[in-house]
Structure 1
């Protein structure tokens, strides 16, 4: 009898946690689009250069602010979008977070070819469904 009570109690405690973990995604309109204002695909840039983000059919809101049809930018440098889009994006040298709602930044990269891609995240840094990702661009740093 105690074993049954413990199993039921465990299930009751875990269920809300599981529900919360699965409830972090946000819907995006099918026509939402994130894109680079600059640099252009194929551009040659200095070691430190400006990156400006564009967004259509959605709004920008800081991380932690939950509003429909909004999100904040993440800049992916020399990496692909994550395979699991249900989890918050990590903050790494290759995944730059702009949780303050910024729409531009300066980036410094070493000489050579690099790829850049934008991915919109919701209030919890989780990509929207469907994902709002830019085309991946390639730049050359002098």
Structure 2
């Protein structure tokens, strides 16, 4: 056994202990330049957000709205029902992380519109069977297969994690045979 090996091991453990102490110090927030300190000129708290703070539906624009373009309220249509929508105040984007100023659409069939902050079910086949259609790719148009009859539709925005926000649009349509 070489005399170099114990020295190498002691150095390795010594370095690991030093790295661990620095890591713990960082976790405790000592000398953290990102920490909000009124004396360091970092005014993240005053602006209402920190770099690592989660975006909530309250952070979404107040003028966010979803509207049906087609069909219009009272229309009689054939199945599959072709739906075209538009939004104001936000950009359409795929579902995922919550991003301020971005959202995707949900079409609710014979379901009440959701309250702000409520999370939509799905996406899944079961959710669609219950009348919850996710347009999670950021699209503004699509088709929905519906049996003949009368339906109430709600168009609603959601953030990346499917939390409802913004103004909704509601219409009634008749699907003919």
Find the residue that maps to 2:167 and give its secondary structure. Answer: coil
Distance, in Å, in 1 between the alignment partners of 2:119 and 2:56 is 9
Question: Which residues of 2 match residues 9-28 of structure 1 at below 5 A?
Answer: 25-26=56-57, 27-28=59-60
Aligned counterpart for 1:110 among listed residues 122, 143, 147: 147
Equivalent position of 2:83 in the other structure: 51
Aligned counterpart for 1:98 among listed residues 128, 135, 144: 135
Deviations 1:36-78 (A, max 9, x none): 0100110000121210111012111111143211100000001
Distance, in Å, in 2 between the alignment partners of 1:57 and 1:86 is 17
Contact residue 77 and residue 173 of structure 2 kept, 8 A: yes
Distance, in Å, in 2 between the alignment partners of 1:24 and 1:79 is 27
Distance, in Å, in 2 between the alignment partners of 1:50 and 1:72 is 18
Deviations 1:89-124 (A, max 9, x none): 102121111111111101111111101111101010
1:132 paired with 2:167, answer yes
Equivalent position of 1:35 in the other structure: 67
Radius of gyration: which is bigger?
2
Find the residue that maps to 1:139 and give its secondary structure. Answer: strand
Superposition deviation, residue 81 in structure 1: 1.7
TM-score, with structure 1 as normaliser? 0.74
Find the residue that maps to 1:90 and give its secondary structure. Answer: coil
Superposition deviation, residue 32 in structure 1: 1.9
Distance, in Å, in 1 between the alignment partners of 2:56 and 2:167 is 12
Larger helix proportion of the pair? 2
Superposition deviation, residue 127 in structure 1: 1.1
Contact residue 28 and residue 132 of structure 1 kept, 8 A: no
> Structure 1 residues 87 and 24, CA, compared in 2 at 3 Å: closer, same or farther?
farther
Residue ranges of structure 2 left out of the alignment (5+ in a row): 1-53
